[in-house]
Chain A
Amino acid sequence: DIQMTQSPSSLSASVGDRVTITCRASQRISTYLNWYQQKPREAPKVLIYAASSLQSGVPSRFSGTGSGTEFSLTISSLQPEDFATYYCQQTYSTPWTFGQGTKVEIK
Chain B
Amino acid sequence: DQQVKQNSPSLSVQEGRISILNCDYTNSMFDYFLWYKKYPAEGPTFLISISSIKDKNEDGRFTVFLNKSAKHLSLHIVPSQPGDSAVYFCAAAGGATGFQKLVFGTGTRLLVSP
Q: Is the pairing of A and B real? A: no
